[in-house]
Amino acid sequence: MWLNFGRSASRPRVFLAGPRRRGIGFFPRFIVSAEYPSIVSPKLLRLLSVTLFAGTLLAEPSPSPLLPASPPATIPATFWNIQWFPGRRPNASRADENRQIREVHRDLTQLVPAPDVIGLEEVRDFQNASIAIRPLSGFKIDVCSNFPPREGQQEGQQIAIASRLQPISAWAEPWKPGGAIIPPRGFAFAAYQLSPGQMLLVYALHLKSNRGEVHEDMRIREVSMRQLVAHMRAMKEAYGKMGALTWIVGGDFNTAPDEPRFAGEKTIPSLLAEGFTWAWQGIPLSSRITVPPNLRYPAASFDQIFFRGAKLSRVWVANTSPQSSDHRAVNAVLNVR
């Protein structure tokens, strides 16, 4: 069951929705389940009401979240653009869908170490995101976006966060227009309490592609990143009072800080200016190719992981199958204590 925060014409309201009611909009949605009955604290609600939007969020008082018996010392995380999953293209045949599902399942189960958190891009919807992680023991979808399709498309490209952890809250937000610029998609966010005084905040995103004019695409990504940074500052205010914060930001950025054709782009520098570390720092391009070359585009390292409040133990590109996706999965192990 989901506890969603929506807005009526007069004031914000709280309503319960079944698992098929997955509209997100601007407001966050907090997770409620049978085994985890209520995990939205009044204090957190007050903080979020100030930092996320004007108005008051209403909820019943609730107990503190259940915490793992043995808090993890490391967090393995994976981010993967799985190319219009399932099917690898819009309007795919059932045979194509089943073929990609098998390949994605095979690749995910071969990741070593097995991730605790996975960000997925280009999934069709919540149901299909759940199918993608089905072979992973203990995993569930914590949030999946419901972004509208782009003009001329029948299906949207959604972003999901899955984990074997228990989230305090999780939601997705579309990017807002920046003047005449309307960025596609948005981001997914999940907050986890690893132990008393230790929080993990995870963002998954899929920024504008390079299918348009290069400088216009750069400006669109910059608009998205400004909004993401603003959201992060709000989350620091909200969750910082609950303890130390570890941040992981990953996904398909469609840009890289050392890519000559994107010289002058402020997307990634804006994130680095907030104290984040690029996981690929110091690693040669040949060792971090996430998009192999094809007839139209050269090889690229567009899939990124950034972190703050942790130490990097290991980062690598998984040798995932081209039958799974045109992108390879990126992985990092972070020491959180």
Q: How far apart are CA 248 and CA 169, in angstroms?
A: 15
For residues 33-42, give the mean pLDDT.
Answer: 36
Given a contact cutoff of 8 angstroms between Cβ atoms, the answer to whether 131 and 86 are in contact is yes
Structural domains present in the chain: 2-41 (no CATH), 74-335 (3.60.10.10)
49: its two tokens: 């009401």
What share of residues in the chain are helix, strand, coil (percent, to 5)?
20, 30, 45
337: its two tokens: 């204590």
The pLDDT of residue 44 is: 52
296 or 243, greater pLDDT: 243
pLDDT greater than 50 at residue 94: yes
297: its two tokens: 């585009």
CA 44 to chain centre: 21
The pLDDT of residue 65 is: 53
Tell me the pLDDT band of 66, cut-offs 50, 70 and 90.
low
pLDDT in tens, 111-157: 999 999 999 999 999 999 999 999 999 999 999 999 999 877 889 99
Q: Which helix (H) or strand (E) holds 44?
A: helix 42-51
- Angle in degrees, 0-180, between the axes of helices 214-239 and 42-51, rounded to the nearest 10: 140
Q: How many CB atoms sit inside 10 A of residue 45's CB?
A: 22
- C-alpha distances (whole Å) from 309 to each of 4, 85, 199, 275, 293 are 30, 32, 10, 9, 34
The pLDDT of residue 69 is: 62
pLDDT greater than 90 at residue 58: no
In eight-state DSSP terms, residue 141 is E
> Tell me, what amino acid is at 109?
T
29 forms beta bridges with 4
Q: How far apart are CA 82 and CA 326, in angstroms?
A: 8
What does pLDDT average to over the chain? Answer: 85
The pLDDT of residue 152 is: 78
For residues 266-293, give the mean pLDDT.
Answer: 98
φ, ψ dihedrals at 108, nearest 5°: -65, -40
The pLDDT of residue 142 is: 99
Percent of the chain past pLDDT 90, that is, above it, reads: 75
pLDDT greater than 70 at residue 304: yes
Given a contact cutoff of 8 angstroms between Cβ atoms, the answer to whether 310 and 202 are in contact is no
180: its two tokens: 């005449």
Given a contact cutoff of 8 angstroms between Cβ atoms, the answer to whether 2 and 19 are in contact is yes
Q: How far apart are CA 121 and CA 184, in angstroms?
A: 13
Q: Which helix (H) or strand (E) holds 12?
A: strand 12-17
Q: 110-135 as b/e, with b when 16 or more CB fall inside 10 Å?
A: ebeebbbbbbbbbbbbbebbbbbbee
For residues 42-47, give the mean pLDDT.
Answer: 51
pLDDT greater than 80 at residue 183: yes
Percent of the chain past pLDDT 70, that is, above it, reads: 80
Which residues make Cβ contacts (< 8 Å) with residue 286, sequence separation at least 6? none
pLDDT in tens, 207-225: 999 999 999 999 999 999 9
The pLDDT of residue 150 is: 84
pLDDT greater than 60 at residue 331: yes
Which residues make Cβ contacts (< 8 Å) with residue 213, sequence separation at least 6? none
For residues 33-61, give the mean pLDDT.
Answer: 39
Strand 277-278 versus strand 117-123 pairing type: unpaired
> Tell me, what amino acid is at 321?
S
The pLDDT of residue 31 is: 39
φ, ψ dihedrals at 237, nearest 5°: -65, -40
In eight-state DSSP terms, residue 10 is S
